[in-house]
Amino acid sequence: MTADETGSAAPGAAEEGPPDEAARGRGDAGDPAAREVEEDFDEEEGDPLALRLESLILGAERRYTPFQAARAAGVSMDLAARFWRAMGFADIGQAKALTEADVLALRRLAGLVEAGLLSEPMAVQVARSTGQTTARLADWQIDSFLEGLTEPQEPGMTRAEITYPLVELLLPELEEFLIYVWRRQLAAATGRVVQAQDDAEMVDRRLAVGFADLVGFTRLTRRLEEEELGELVEAFETTAADLVAAHGGRLIKTLGDEVLYAADDAGTAAEIGLRLIETLSHDETMPELRVGIAFGTVTTRMGDVFGTTVNLASRLTSIAPKNAVLVDGALAEELTRSGDAPKSEADAAAAEDHPAYRFALQPMWQRPVRGLGVVEPWLLTRRGD
């Protein structure tokens, strides 16, 4: 991959020395615009402790402008900008705000493209998915984790003064833990993809998709204080995430008052839906819950799920009674096919030697659902309830 024709060097040029030193050797100091950018940055005042904290986290001090970083990495400024935008980084103009790590990241990502391991669009997708995921993780850690640990313990000490040694201790441990969890998740995802490939199901797969929605959440937002609302949402998301993982599902995303999960089979999705209702209904601090589950072909992309099946699950949630689970006909059929639920009570009574059914299904009135036509939902309960 070559650099652009506006002054970026070819890949090998990065080995001749740091861009700022090379620039001085070529006489870039004579460029008023370039000199003004660097002088403005050098004269910029900031909290020295905050800058030290940034250097600690990034592992290096600010050294490059975006143009210099792209040149040092041997990539065009256009491609570098696409990668940075995909990762969620703001446009900083030509301020000297990047480090050696930024150069290395560009070089590695561009190298994967040059080697033919990734196409440019795939590399941008990798950057975007990583940026979105880690941005949310970083926000969570700062808002929920570090905030609670950095309350000043001694009079006169600022939060920044307490944060620095704390981050110094935690950063390497959390970094190693992040890599560990990512590898475990990657191994699990790879196993699912390999299995799907064997079944000739790659992007489009047959999955059970469930939505769980807190009832009356909008009214709660007007009644509760912000801190109380935040605690409620965190408790809901934590409970839902734990239950989904414990029973073999995958949490796709959380939306404050709603969670979306998926499972490879109908029985797992049904069990998770009922567990959510049962667990949260015993928590007096939680609003009532309703769940909708559908089964069918789902398009998976960048960790998310799309398609008619997902839309149907969402619609079922919106019409479900409080503290109840509604499923579509396809999921009901899967449950009867797998032996998790009888087709009818008459069939259950006739099959005396059949193993105990886990679930019961009750047909509901057919009704039109916006954008999906007429559907026949089924009320899912535990057998014997």
- Could you tell me if 133 and 168 lie in one domain? no
- Could you tell me if 265 and 121 lie in one domain? no
Cα dist from 16 to 20, 59, 64, 128, 169, whole Å? 11, 23, 16, 31, 36
Domain of residue 230 covers 203-382
Q: Is residue 145 part of a domain?
A: no
- Could you tell me if 262 and 371 lie in one domain? yes
Q: Is residue 2 part of a domain?
A: no
Contact 323, 277 (CB under 8 A): yes
Q: Is residue 313 part of a domain?
A: yes
Amino acid at 178: L
**Residue 44 pLDDT more than 80?**
no
Q: Is residue 377 part of a domain?
A: yes
- Which pLDDT belongs to residue 123? 92
pTM of the predicted model, to two decimals?
0.65
Q: pLDDT tens digits for 231-249?
A: 888 889 989 999 999 999 9
- Could you tell me if 157 and 218 lie in one domain? no
- Could you tell me if 374 and 310 lie in one domain? yes
Q: pLDDT tens digits for 52-63?
A: 888 888 988 889
Rounded mean pLDDT, 35-56: 61
Q: Is residue 360 part of a domain?
A: yes
How confident is residue 145, by pLDDT bands cut at 50, 70 and 90? low
Please, what is the average pLDDT of the chain?
Answer: 80
Q: pLDDT tens digits for 66-117?
A: 999 999 999 999 999 999 999 988 887 888 889 999 999 999 999 999 999 9
Q: Which DSSP letter does residue 373 get?
A: E
Place of tokens 């489009």: 204
**Residue 270 pLDDT more than 90?**
yes
Q: pLDDT tens digits for 208-232?
A: 999 999 998 888 888 888 888 888 8
- Could you tell me if 367 and 284 lie in one domain? yes
- Could you tell me if 116 and 259 lie in one domain? no
